[in-house]
Amino acid sequence: MAKRLPPLNPLRAFEATARHGSLTKAASELNVTHGAVSHQIKALEQSLGVRLFERSGQRVKLTPHGAELLPAVSTAFDGIAAATQRLTRPASSGALSVSCVPALLLLWMTPRLGSFTAQYPDIQLTLIPSNDPRDIRAPHIDVCVHYGNGSWTDCWMRKWSGLELFPVVSPTLINNRPIRTVRDLAYHVFLHGDDGREWHTWLAAADALDLERGRRHHLGDARMAAEAAVHGHGVALGDSVTASALLARGMLVAPFSLSVPAVDDFYVVCRNEMRTTPIVQVFIDWLFAEKAEDDSRADAPVAGRLVTRRKRPALKVVGGKPAS
């Protein structure tokens, strides 16, 4: 059943009169006559069956009924005005603020900024390395690319990518201290980008939960763990999205052919009212187009070379490369 709403023009006359406390000032703002505003308000009062104003000379004062109605009407008009401004905002120019998982921002998005700039030279990006869910509600942030389980509420979201996890190590370290089986990991430093859940997931798939793990460092996020691995400080868990470029450039190698699904996924998330903003839509479309291009490349590193399984016997390598 359709909701019964009062006519728009009487509501506009009511809101303007209540805001100014004057029929004359409301008429001036709406570019109509004093009589027209008075007529619209009377029509609204008759429609609702209540008095909205008490009149005293040139001034008007809200009745209790009018005071109850005003916040809802003001909020509605403010929302319409804000939505109109967003819709008329040019799609290909302006400023856009993006909160992005630090590892994804540094290792995936930043190398592709040239592609975005070439397509949209008049959009100025502010990129914030963060995976803080509070960013989704932050008024100064337009869109987020975050890692999580998709449980955010009262917002728009779309899964951008799943990812696979696998150990990565620098070529120098693996040459100096070979990793021929999973058991050899016991002689290396474990680098954590989280609280340990992801290494637990991979070791479970490799039937190695009983592996004695000695030294370990918690680096705070996947970006820092990958950077520590590049410098030869231990073995980190890379993923099929952010570690691809490091593997392709030979800065890291994957000593095993086993990868496992990550606990969470990457999502594009924003406030509901931002979803239809043209400049936000442009950026979201670009994100998904770039990911689709990555997925379509036949020579994509990692994706075609790792076997995703949950359980596997001890893994071996030959000459620092995955055994075939």
The predicted structure's pLDDT at residue 123: 94
Spell out the domain ranges in the chain.
Answer: 8-88, 95-324
* Structure tokens belonging to residue 200: 């637990």
Q: What are the pLDDT digits (tens) for 246-259?
A: 888 899 999 998 99
The predicted structure's pLDDT at residue 126: 96
The predicted structure's pLDDT at residue 7: 81
Rounded to an integer, what is the distance from CA 244 to the centroid of its chain? Answer: 21
Asked whether residue 304 carries a pLDDT value surpassing 50, the answer given is no
Say how many C-beta atoms besides its own lie within 10 A of residue 38's C-beta.
18
Residue 193 and residue 224 in contact, taking contact as beta carbons nearer than 8 Å: yes
Distance in angstroms (rounded) separating the CA atoms of residues 317 and 166: 14
Length of the chain: 324
210, with CB counted inside 10 A (0-12, 13-18, 19+), is exposed
* Sheet of 216-218, strand order: 216-218, 190-192, 235-239, 164-168, 258-261, 307-308
Q: Which residue has the higher pLDDT, 210 or 253?
A: 253
The CATH number given to 95-324 is 3.40.190.290
Task: Give the number of C-alpha atoms closer than 13 A to the C-alpha of residue 169, restricted to the C-beta side.
Answer: 24
Could you tell me if residue 150 is left (phi over 0), alpha (psi between -120 and 50 degrees) or otherwise beta? Answer: left
3-state secondary structure 200-233: HHHHHHCCCCCCCCCCEEECCCHHHHHHHHHCCC
CATH architecture designation of domain 8-88: Orthogonal Bundle (1.10)
Radius of gyration of the chain (CA): 29
Asked whether residue 156 carries a pLDDT value surpassing 60, the answer given is yes
The predicted structure's pLDDT at residue 208: 86
Q: What are the pLDDT digits (tens) for 76-106?
A: 887 777 666 556 555 667 899 999 999 999 9
151, with CB counted inside 10 A (0-12, 13-18, 19+), is exposed
Between the two ends of the chain, the Cα-to-Cα distance in Å is 64
> Is this structure's pTM higher than 0.75?
no
